A and B are shown apart, each in its own frame.
Chain A
Amino acid sequence: MSLLDYFRTSKTSSASLAKERLQILVAYERSSGNQPSYLPELQKELLAVIQRYVNVNKDAMTINLEQTDNRETLELNIVLPDAHRL
């Protein structure tokens, strides 16, 4: 860094941006890395079944497998539209 650089306004450093992006990504990959490979397929099929009855879009559903020491929980979260039945 030269004397001239010193007087330039310092933007948010790119290193802190890198760190922030990495922390989010690594946390996500650690939690999803252990999930069974059938999960995306399961989500797709479940969504297809639900869509036969309710008009939900694919972003309205999240699926998550939590693992604790002695228990696995499959969490399914579907946001239903107000009153738009098929």
Chain B
Amino acid sequence: MARIIVVTSGKGGVGKTTTSAAISMGLAKKGHKTVVIDFDVGLRNLDLIMGCERRVVYDIINVINGEAALNQALIRDKNCNLLSILPASQTRNKDALTQDGVEKILEELSKEFKYIVCDSPAGIETGAHLAMYFADDAFVVTNPEVSSVRDSDRMLGILASKSRRAERGEEPIKEYLLLSRYSPERVKSGEMLSLNDVQEILSLHLLGVIPESKSVLTSSNAGTPVILDEKSDAGQAYADIVARYLGENKPQRFIEDKTGFFRKLFGGR
């Protein structure tokens, strides 16, 4: 049986797709057969972040409607052959995504893959609901910013009450915090909520902190998941996160302000 991970946040623009691309690549690079599914019907973007936008022929709605077989819609990643991508459709009809359809797809994928990563759209509409409904684990991507923390808390309430596990009275979804766009320097100067502040409010198990990093944009420009940029701090942060999720013991990094004394003195950035 596959493990189903939902990457969620409630709020848009916090880094769900960046995270989905990075962790699915990370899991595959660790030798686990992984598939990542874009649930953002009408506004697909995972294909662009993964750099396979020109190879999309069929999508998840085609599979649900029986217009294509699942294997025809899956795109094998060009960097790692253990990773596949199932793109969302660009149709504006959001009702095309059905619970039965998604369940069948997940069942079929479970036979072949070890991890299924569901990239949730923002909001709490159908796509977001179906992305989290069948999940075993939830990666809650949060920015140290008031609206993101609030929406994450709302999302936690939904995960606890509206998922299949909740409805069946099974063991609840395991929830993990991924604090992204973190700037230790700004935390130190009192301009940004700290990791401890966010933890105090959400009380989640921390999987890792991803620092604000230029490499996230340059990687998305190129269509390569940022985790492949092994020199970048964000890439390393995601590699740590994948390792911790798989049970390795990695000390937390990117929490302390590492700005040098002279840079601090003269206020350079």
- Residues of chain A having any CB pair with chain B under 8 Å: 1-5, 10, 13-16, 18-19, 21-23, 25-26, 29-30, 33
Report if A33-B265 is in contact (Cβ < 8 Å); known contacts: A18-B146, A19-B197, A26-B201: no
Whether the pair A14, B190 counts as a contact (CB closer than 8 A) is yes
Whether the pair B265, A2 counts as a contact (CB closer than 8 A) is yes
Report if A1-B201 is in contact (Cβ < 8 Å); known contacts: A15-B190, A30-B157: no
The residue from A10, A23, A25, A33 contacting B190, defined by CB atoms under 8 A apart: A10
B193 within 8 A of A: yes
Contact residues of B between 131 and 169, Cβ < 8 Å to A = 145-146, 149-150, 153-154, 157
Contacts of A14 in B (CB 8 A): 190-191
- Residues of chain B having any CB pair with chain A under 8 Å: 145-146, 149-150, 153-154, 157, 185, 187-194, 197, 200-201, 264-267
Task: Specify the main secondary structure of chain B where it touches its partner.
Answer: helix
Whether the pair B153, A26 counts as a contact (CB closer than 8 A) is yes
Q: How far is the CA of A1 from the CA of B191 in the complex (A)?
A: 11
Contacts of B190 in A (CB 8 A): 10, 13-16
Whether the pair A29, B267 counts as a contact (CB closer than 8 A) is no
Looking across the interface, which residue of chain A has its beta carbon closest to that of B158?
A: A33
Shortest C-beta distance, A23 to chain B (Å), equals: 6
